[in-house]
Amino acid sequence: MNTFLSAPQQAAKEQFQAYVREDVAPIAKQLERKESSMKECLQKLGQRGYLGLTVPKEYGGQGTPFLNTVLLAEALGEHEPGVALALAEHTAVIELINKYGDDRQKSRYLPLLARGECIAAMAVHEEAAGCDINSSVCIVRKEGNQLVLHGTKTWVVNGDFATLFVVAAKNSESSQLSLFLVDASGDAQSILVGDDHAKLGMRSVATNDVQFDSHILAAEALLQPGTGGIEEQILFAGDIGKSVIAASALGMLESSIARSVEHANTREQFGQKIGQFQAIQWKIADMSTETAACRMLIYRAAWTKDEEPQSFRKDAAMCKWYASKIARHQTGEALQILGVEGLSDTSPTERFYRDAKVMEICEGTSEFQKVVLGRELDI
């Protein structure tokens, strides 16, 4: 693998960074305070073609490698990682349909998802079913000639405005767990969305409980599992989400380094710039080195998704676990360098510190990543 970006990839990364600086960075704090709309932010990404980076051209997308989506998430993470988490869920649904959807499902949903006219959400977890998906109690029951969905999903990212949900539910007769595409567009009174959960970090992201109250499923709702079963589908969607959220952690780290260096070169204490103190130099050296290691792991995972899919699960778990760990630690070190300036709620670093802790939990906890790695390493 070439661990450096090609010229087109580097150009794409710079294009993403320019867009985020101009259109997302100015509203980052408003997004966190819910004074700006996350839905509109995602729709603008769709209008630019950025939601459809991995959607095949025949379905209205750009047909680029998954690495391009990771580069977009990295750019978003430099200013507002919450947008990257919303992107992660949307992209996970796209990739599920790409891989497991039939022609009808692809033709119906992929063009809408690529343009941002439909925002997607993964509705998998329940109060008693987090990583242990088999504990789900959400059911699909046959009532007459129709399949009807009953149950509640918790902490659904994009739940407040999603018009397409991927829902994990059990057949009431066989208890077999399956994934269903649930269209929430139009008059969907049978889908009840709760209030956004208040959170430590990632406050810009809508995270809602969603109740499906006798919701009638479309005839083509079932997402066929292929040979790997539903566990493979859910793990694959998780691998996508992990890689995207790890990339946003990378962007957060890069931004934290830049702010730390700037402060170290301008702040004076005891008659000299604080960057002249070895303690500060060592903090920034550690930050820079560990960020570089994160970058290699993340780009590797994105590359293996397309080129060596047999290694994707392992690489996705590694990059997500390591990047979220380093982001949590090194954003704390950036706060230490910035001092009281970093503690202000107007400081991006203060927001990053809170967001980074959430990254160790969302898209699968750090402990679960180690369980996945144990399996992949045949332990």
Point out the residues that are catalytic.
363
Asked whether 271 and 264 are in contact (CB, 8 A), the reply is: no
How many Cα atoms within 13 Å fall on the side-chain side of residue 6?
8
DSSP 374: H
- If 0-12 CB within 10 Å is exposed, 13-18 middle and 19+ buried, where does residue 4 land? exposed
- Helices and strands per DSSP (H, E), number in the chain: 12, 10
Residues 6+ apart with CB under 8 A from 275: 261, 264, 265, 281, 284
Cα 379–chain centre separation: 28
What are residue 232's phi and psi, to 5 degrees?
-65, -40
**Amino acid letter at 234?**
I
Q: How open is the CA angle 348-350-351, to the nearest 5 degrees? A: 65
273, exposed or middle or buried, with CB in 10 Å at 0-12, 13-18, 19+? middle
* Gyration radius of the chain's alpha carbons: 21
Cβ density class 290-304: b for 16+ within 10 Å, e for less: bbeebbebbbbbbbb
Name beta bridge partners: 165. 121, 182
Residue 197 to residues 123, 137, 207, 285, Cα–Cα distance (Å): 15, 22, 6, 37
DSSP one-letter code for 205: S
